Amino acid sequence: MAKLPKSVAAFLAGKRFAVAGVSRQPNKFANAIYRRLRDNGFEVLAVNPNATEVEGAPCYPDIVSIPGQLDGVVVATPAGAALAIVRQCIDKGVRHVWFHRAFGNGSMSDDAVKACKDHGIAVVEGGCPMMYCEPVDAAHRCFGWWLGLIGRGPA
């Protein structure tokens, strides 16, 4: 596994995650993240307000509908939806949020990041769990290196 930034190590220390933005179309980024976390032994739950099942598993309409406690949430939605998801995380008592970001803002919005920090939620700002969960493919390995080089990788 790649050397883990502190925020990533803290996030991945959890066992039970939700991925917001999982699609009924399996070729989407959020679905790949969902599968990689699942394949690395984490309990992973899908969130999409327009689906009841994704990847052969139950899908929840929002974070607060998920039974039990979550250790973290990966936000892999358009940035415009991020603040609403963070508000759900606040209501649910989630302590870690990872905003997926490759190019541009990705899933990050300044308001969503600020809301996390204002409520004591640890934030992974950018990058992708697939850069750290084995097996790390060549594209994610290179992309992680590039994000670090330009100062946009998780800290």
The dotted CATH code for 6-149 is: 3.40.50.720
pTM score, whole prediction: 0.92
Domain edges within the chain: 6-149
The pLDDT score that the predictor gives to residue 103 is: 67
The pLDDT score that the predictor gives to residue 1 is: 46
Provide the edge-to-edge strand list for the sheet that holds 122-125: 53-54, 57-60, 43-47, 16-20, 72-75, 96-99, 122-125
CA–CA separation, 88 vs 62, rounded Å?
A: 7
Q: Which two tokens stand for residue 91?
A: 């209501």
Percent of the chain clearing pLDDT 90 (strictly above): 70
pLDDT per residue over 78-99, tens digit each? Answer: 999 999 999 999 999 999 999 9
The pLDDT score that the predictor gives to residue 124 is: 96
DSSP for 109-128 reads -HHHHHHHHHTT-EEEESB-
Q: Is the pLDDT of residue 2 over 70?
A: no
